Amino acid sequence: MLILGIDTSCDDTSAAVVEDGRKIVSNIVSSQSEIHTKYGGIVPELASRRHIEMILPVVEEALRLAAVTLSDLSAIAVCYGPGLIGSLLVGCSFAKAVCYSRDIPLVAVNHLEGHLLSPFLEEHAPDFPFISLIVSGGHTSLYVAEDYGNYTLLGRTRDDAAGEAYDKVSKLMGLGYPGGPLIDRLAREGNPGAISFPRAYLPETYDFSFSGLKTAVRNYVKTEVQHTGERIPGMEPGVLSIERLRDIAASFQAAVVDVLVRKTKWAVKKKKIGRVTLSGGVSANRVLRENMKKMGEELKVQVFIPPVSLCTDNAAMIAAAGFHRFLKNEFAGPDLNPKAYLSL
């Protein structure tokens, strides 16, 4: 059974063909990073316009690499939220038009479910139930997954998502966009214990909060600028030394990872579930992956983390989630509308 997945939830245009919800036949991702980098973040209008330009060639390439045609598809699965509404409109409109014209079943997929099920695209997939930590630029959430389509939210961010905090801290440090890879790269040679940034543990809950940490980094940078006479990038003359920036990056990253891993550990102990999955764009982070695996060894639980290529937004995970919706006959019609805000 072949499912064509389409994802235009943010700034990546992606299409993929997945067989039986597990085997990736093709997975094409067209990145817009070059367009948005000079603005220090995603510009929604530019993102949606680029999706319009790329959606057809990306889908055609996915079908070509999979050596299939539209007639070979069992269904088309499209991400309808959450995400940038203008971007989502492009993917949904395209999918609805193709399904209507070729009489192909349409399946609507929640972007978060795509991330949650992305570990199933690997050879060794988790059994249900499992604890799922989804960490991305727009989401930081902890779930218990009981079965396909049966998810219970344990906690979510109360303000900034972890990935959003990375981008904002990267910008105020003058590193650029996207912040996650840039900070992770800089932190490799920094001292994670150099600066004691705060951790918002929010006792008695599984919720997250990274706004205070972001503010603490900003205040620290300002203090250093005043004390040393240096300037943050973009403010002449001079910049903070590379050594100081490395320590700030490493200490900030240590604070984020500590909270993410600790909250997951609390959930494992409380729910007594021996399987954990990590997904979402931030799950590509080197330190987070290492510390999550260490937690698994410490608690003697299985930890499943997709390869980096499946951590960031991609259509393969949308097709995988759509496959299980298809099996339940959960189809969408031509009245499907995207939703910028959508719970799982």
If asked whether residues 149 and 230 sit together in one domain, one would say yes
Tokens of 58: 């990306």
Range with the poorest average pLDDT among 154-168, 174-188, 265-279: 174-188
Amino acid (1-letter code) at residue 136: S
Q: Is the predicted pLDDT of residue 190 greater than 70, yes or no?
A: yes
Residue with tokens 């937690």: 295
If asked whether residues 140 and 228 sit together in one domain, one would say yes
Q: Is the predicted pLDDT of residue 232 greater than 50, yes or no?
A: no
Overall domain count for the chain: 2
If asked whether residues 68 and 157 sit together in one domain, one would say no
Q: Higher model confidence: residue 240 or residue 220?
A: 220
70 belongs to a structural domain: yes
Q: What is the pTM of this model?
A: 0.92
Length of the chain, please? Answer: 344
Phi, psi dihedral angles at 24 (to 5 degrees): -80, 115
Domain that holds residue 37: 2-117+310-327
7 belongs to a structural domain: yes
If asked whether residues 112 and 205 sit together in one domain, one would say no
If asked whether residues 99 and 143 sit together in one domain, one would say no
pLDDT given for residue 228 in this prediction: 53
338 belongs to a structural domain: no
22 belongs to a structural domain: yes
How much is the average pLDDT of 317-330?
98
Average predicted confidence (pLDDT) for the chain: 93
Q: Is the predicted pLDDT of residue 341 greater than 90, yes or no?
A: yes
User: Is the link from the previous residue into 44 a cis peptide, with omega within 30 of 0?
Assistant: no
36 belongs to a structural domain: yes
**If pLDDT is split at 50, 70 and 90, which confidence band does 193 have?**
very high
Indicate which CATH number applies to the domain containing 109.
Answer: 3.30.420.40
Where b means 16+ CB within 10 Å and e means fewer, 82-96 reads: bbbebbbbbbbbbbb
Report which of 140, 141, 248, 239 is spatially closest to residue 190, judged by C-alpha positions. Answer: 248
225 belongs to a structural domain: yes
Question: Strands (DSSP E) along the chain, which ranges?
Answer: 2-7, 13-19, 23-30, 75-81, 106-110, 130-135, 140-147, 150-156, 275-279, 302-304
Q: Is the predicted pLDDT of residue 231 greater than 80, yes or no?
A: no
Tokens of 128: 């249900």
**If pLDDT is split at 50, 70 and 90, which confidence band does 237 have?**
very low
If asked whether residues 301 and 315 sit together in one domain, one would say no
Q: Is the predicted pLDDT of residue 230 greater than 70, yes or no?
A: no
Q: Is the predicted pLDDT of residue 124 greater than 60, yes or no?
A: yes
**How far is C-alpha 340 from the chain's CA centre?**
15
Spatial separation of the C-alpha atoms in residues 161 and 211, rounded to whole Å: 8
Q: Is the predicted pLDDT of residue 186 greater than 90, yes or no?
A: yes
Spatial separation of the C-alpha atoms in residues 118 and 21, rounded to whole Å: 10
pLDDT given for residue 234 in this prediction: 43
| Percent of the residues in the chain that have a pLDDT greater than 90, as a whole number | 86
Q: Is the predicted pLDDT of residue 235 greater than 70, yes or no?
A: no
334 belongs to a structural domain: no
Range with the poorest average pLDDT among 171-175, 254-258, 283-287, 293-297: 171-175
If asked whether residues 99 and 147 sit together in one domain, one would say no
If asked whether residues 153 and 294 sit together in one domain, one would say yes
Please give the DSSP secondary-structure letter assigned to residue 233: T
If asked whether residues 10 and 143 sit together in one domain, one would say no
209 belongs to a structural domain: yes
If asked whether residues 139 and 242 sit together in one domain, one would say yes
pLDDT given for residue 303 in this prediction: 98
